[in-house]
Amino acid sequence: MTATPVATTPELKAPAPSASAIAKKRLSSPWASLVAIVVAVLWTLPTFGLLLSSFRPEMDIKRTGWWTFFSDPQVTLDNYRAVFDEETGVNLADFFVNSLTICIPAVLIPIALAALGAYAFAWINFRGKNILFLAIFALQIVPLQVTLIPLLTIFVKIDISGTFWPLWLAHSTFALPLAIYLLHNFMKEIPAGLIEAARIDGAGHVSIFFRVMLPLLIPALAAFGIFQFLWVWNDLLVALVFAGGGDEVAPITLQLANITGTRGTAWHLLASGTFVSIIVPVTVFLLLQRYFVRGLLAGSVKG
């Protein structure tokens, strides 16, 4: 310390606004809102057109665009009747149930396994932990397409093909690397003091996991759950390969792919079929949306 008087006070300038404050200010300007609205309209327009199409008569769909609805509004429920009609050979109701049967375990299994795995990676020290974690992290970049035939061969060998098991196992396997990584990052952020306090109170790993971690994890679990649910519900590729064995296990996406008929002559049914299938993801998203962004941000961004 020198004798320099403390008169110079360049530090007394107003504190620089934090990055988030700048971002908030920029994002809430009228121009940004306008851009957001334009993007929202652009993204919603095709879906809106699809919704209108699903109510238009067959010949109108095939001959004109959906926007002609405004000059010549013709509405019918025939398309929706047709996708639930056993007579025309399509009854989406059965496949709807199949999809639910596939989705629910295919979401719960990876969540349960990943939460346990992530806890171990975050808070238990064991040999080779970092290598193992790196391996799991790296597995995310393996394209699932290369695993299709080998996995199917295994499923055939252990004689579970034609049941729901291949789908549950395949979806769980494909989901685990991302799930473990996401939940691990989330758990790492929980202050170590909390864990230590619990340990001092005599809690072991099991009670720390259930009493301390799990309540804090709910947003992350919900976020990942939505992710996984949407992925499984909308999946066609995995179902195509592993759901071989007839209508008993085929999800709704398979039937949607087939709904247009052998030579695509019934493509007017696509719009109504799609909207039947969309109901569940929209419901799930609306139910859990408040966790969605929160959980994603918490899990992926440090600091």
Partner 1 sequence: MFGQSGSSRSRVALAGALGVGLVLSLAACGGDKKDDSSGSTDAASAGIDCAQFSQFGDLKGKTVSVYTGIVTPEDTPHKKSYEAFEKCTGVTVKYEGDKSFETQILVRAKAGNPPDIAYVPQPGLLKQLVDTGKAVEAPKEVSDNTDKWFGKDWKSYGTVNGKFYAAPLGANVKSLVWYSPKEFKDKGYTIPTTLDELKQLSDKIAATGSKPWCAGIGSGDATGWPVTDWVEDFMLRVNGVDAYDKWVSHEIPFNGPESTAAWNAVGDYLKNDKFVNGGIGDVKSIAATSFQDGGLNILEGTCSLHRQASFYAANFPKATKIAEDGDIYAFYLPGKDASSKPVLGGGEFVVAFADRPEVKAFQYYLSTEIWANQKAKASSGWVSANKGLNIENLTNPIDVLSAKILQDPNAQFRFDGSDMMPAAVGSNAFWKQATAWITGQDTATTVNNIEAAWPKK
Q: What CA–CA distance (Å, rounded) separates 143 from 134? A: 17
Per-residue string for binding with partner 1, 203-222, x by CB under 8 A? --------------------
Binder to partner 1 among 152, 190, 198, 216 (CB under 8 A)? 152
Q: Does 267 bind partner 1 (CB under 8 A)?
A: yes
Q: Which is nearer to partner 1, 123 or 155 (CB)?
A: 155
If DSSP codes are grouped into helix, strand and coil, which group holds residue 284? helix
Stretch that binds partner 1, among 128-136, 203-211, 220-228, 283-291 (CB under 8 A): 283-291
Q: What CA–CA distance (Å, rounded) separates 163 from 101? A: 11
Looking at the chain, list the stretches that DSSP marks H as alpha helix, in order from N- to C-terminal side. 19-27, 30-54, 58-63, 78-83, 92-123, 129-139, 148-157, 165-189, 192-200, 205-207, 214-234, 237-242, 252-258, 269-300
Q: Does 89 bind partner 1 (CB under 8 A)?
A: yes
Total interface residues for partner 1 by CB under 8 A: 55
Q: Does 122 bind partner 1 (CB under 8 A)?
A: no
Binder to partner 1 among 222, 241, 252, 271 (CB under 8 A)? 241
Binder to partner 1 among 92, 102, 118, 136 (CB under 8 A)? 92
Q: Does 276 bind partner 1 (CB under 8 A)?
A: yes
Q: What CA–CA distance (Å, rounded) separates 173 from 106? A: 9
Contact 233, 222 (CB under 8 A): no
Contact 254, 236 (CB under 8 A): yes
Stretch that binds partner 1, among 65-73, 108-116, 193-201, 256-264 (CB under 8 A): 256-264
Helix axis angle for 165-189 and 148-157, nearest 10°, is 120
Binding stretches for partner 1 (CB under 8 A): 58-59, 62-63, 80-81, 84-93, 96, 148-149, 152-153, 155-157, 161, 240-241, 244-247, 254, 257-267, 276, 279-280, 282-283, 286-287, 289-290, 292-294
